[in-house]
Amino acid sequence: MSGPDDREQRQERRIAAAFRVKYHSLDQLVVALTHDFSRGGLFMRTPRLLPVNAIIRVVVELPDGGGELPLVCRVAFARSESDAGASGKPAGMGVEFLDLDAERMAQLTRFVTDRQLDPSAAVAATARAPANVLVVDDDASLRAPIARALGDRGDRVREACDGLDALAACLKQVPDLVISDLQMPRMDGWQLVRMLRARPSLSRVPVILVTTLIDDEARLRGYRMGVDDYIGKPVAVEELVVRVDRVLARSQRPAALERHALRGDLEHVTLASLLSFLAMEQKSGALFLVGEGTARLFLRNGAPVRAEVGDRPVGRDDPALDRLLSWHKGQFEFSDQDVTGADELQTSVNALLLEHARRADENTR
């Protein structure tokens, strides 16, 4: 009769290989929990491939010295380097957890929720040099609170009464950021953006437009021109500061990483409008989304050909893709690039959105 030690030895003999997966930050772990662990598996980028159904051990390293979580897994699929080149997806293996029960998931969740940022790290993360900001509005009473809010926190603020005055100020001294009204005499906000983007010395200056009534089509036109963000009137100081910090942080990236990106906020432009615009323009490239998680949509000549939520590829009828199309908050960035590989979705943007609307209507009823 075999005892517990015998059973453990047999299980050890079943293990074909061992792998380690390390999450370097708490944010990476959060995305993995919601998009991988909760679905019972994960994808490992590795050139070392094993046969489907092979049993392996995966040691998950938690961030910030949080320890390790050993898991027994089954190989669900393997993608070789040659398959990766043909499909445009990374080489590696998809594995299914065999022993990740509800109790261990709860432990992981508690690890995330109990984790707190060290106050000194928070101060270091938010510390930055004062920014040189140009505030543009023909109404001095509307310029003043913006200038005061930024000046009170240490930024160097200049003011301009319209687009022409602002352009002259920018040519005299290049600012780190321009915050401009849209409707102004002599030169409005749209014209100012065009003038800035047409000049090499000013083409990378971030611009936030302050406006009231503006539709998705107009916002998309602005993003295409190079507007970095929008803020509504009346201006809420707390929201203004958050948006200024976000735009300034994004502007610090090297020019080589920009790749003619179209960037914006899903609170200003719906995902449906954005996809319709990309389809109408017959764009090819990658749409990166950060909202309830992370996702990527790949388009070729305006048609969606591949979708990934987290690190997991999703099909046209996958509930994860349906949830993605419902995102109303977060940021987007579309980069022009060649998209190779098979068309995995076999649909158009219009058909995808119509099917999503039909399902939403059914759920409402």
pLDDT band at 365 (very low <50, low <70, confident <90, very high): low
* Mean pLDDT of all residues belonging to the chain: 83
Question: CA 231, CA 268: separation in Å to the nearest integer?
Answer: 9
Same domain for 351 and 293?
Answer: yes
Instruction: List the CATH number of the domain containing 20.
Output: 2.40.10.220
Q: Please give, one letter per residue, the 3-state secondary structure of 210-275.
A: EECCCCHHHHHHHHHHCCCEEEECCCCHHHHHHHHHHHHHHHCCCHHHCCCCEEEECCCCCHHHHH
Same domain for 276 and 222?
Answer: no
Q: What pLDDT is recorded for position 122? A: 40
pLDDT digits (tens, 9 = 90+) for 142-156: 999 999 999 998 999
CB 165 within 8 A of CB 189: no
Same domain for 53 and 84?
Answer: yes
Residue 2 counted as domain residue: no
Q: Which residues contact 329 (CB under 8 A, 6 or more apart)?
A: 266, 267, 291, 292
Choosing from 252, 278, 296, the residue where a domain stops is 252
pLDDT band at 127 (very low <50, low <70, confident <90, very high): low
Question: CA 50, CA 54: separation in Å to the nearest integer?
Answer: 7
Residue 124 counted as domain residue: no
When divided into structural domains, the chain yields a total of 3
Same domain for 215 and 302?
Answer: no
Instruction: List the CATH number of the domain containing 188.
Output: 3.40.50.2300
Same domain for 269 and 212?
Answer: no
Tell me what the mean pLDDT of segment 250-263 comes to: 59
Residue 120 counted as domain residue: no
CB 341 within 8 A of CB 89: yes
Choosing from 60, 82, 115, the residue where a domain stops is 115
Residue 125 counted as domain residue: no
Q: How far apart are the first and last CA of the chain?
A: 59
Q: Reply yes or no on whether the pLDDT at 297 is more than 80.
A: yes
Residue 110 counted as domain residue: yes
Tell which wins on pLDDT, 126 or 142.
142
| Domain limits for position 331 | 264-364
Tell me what the mean pLDDT of segment 234-263 comes to: 73
pLDDT band at 10 (very low <50, low <70, confident <90, very high): very low
Same domain for 214 and 300?
Answer: no
Same domain for 140 and 99?
Answer: no
Q: Which residues pair with 179 in a beta bridge?
A: 135, 208
Q: State percent of the chain over pLDDT 90.
A: 35
Choosing from 252, 272, 302, the residue where a domain stops is 252
Three-state SS at 325: coil
The dihedral over CA atoms of 102, 108, 112, 115, expressed in degrees to the nearest 10, equals 130
Q: Reply yes or no on whether the pLDDT at 158 is more than 90.
A: yes
Same domain for 272 and 292?
Answer: yes
Same domain for 15 and 78?
Answer: yes
Q: Reply yes or no on whether the pLDDT at 311 is more than 80.
A: no
Tell which wins on pLDDT, 267 or 120.
267
Q: How buried is residue 72: exposed, middle or buried, by Cβ count under 10 Å (0-12/13-18/19+)? A: middle
Please compute Rg for the chain using Cα positions.
25
Question: CA 73, CA 52: separation in Å to the nearest integer?
Answer: 11
Tell me which range, 3-17, 80-94, 347-361, is most confidently predicted by mean pLDDT. Answer: 347-361
Closest CA to 271 of 356, 203, 146, 201: 356
pLDDT band at 117 (very low <50, low <70, confident <90, very high): very low
Tell me what the mean pLDDT of segment 156-161 comes to: 96
Tell me what the mean pLDDT of segment 203-231 comes to: 82
Tell me which range, 66-70, 98-102, 150-154, is most confidently predicted by mean pLDDT. Answer: 150-154
Same domain for 161 and 218?
Answer: yes
Q: Reply yes or no on whether the pLDDT at 224 is more than 90.
A: no
pLDDT band at 342 (very low <50, low <70, confident <90, very high): confident
Same domain for 216 and 324?
Answer: no
Q: State percent of the chain over pLDDT 70.
A: 89
Tell me what the mean pLDDT of segment 214-243 comes to: 82
Residue 202 counted as domain residue: yes
Question: CA 250, CA 349: separation in Å to the nearest integer?
Answer: 29
Pairing of strands 285-290, 331-336: antiparallel
Same domain for 41 and 82?
Answer: yes
- Residue 45 backbone phi and psi in degrees, to 5: -80, 110
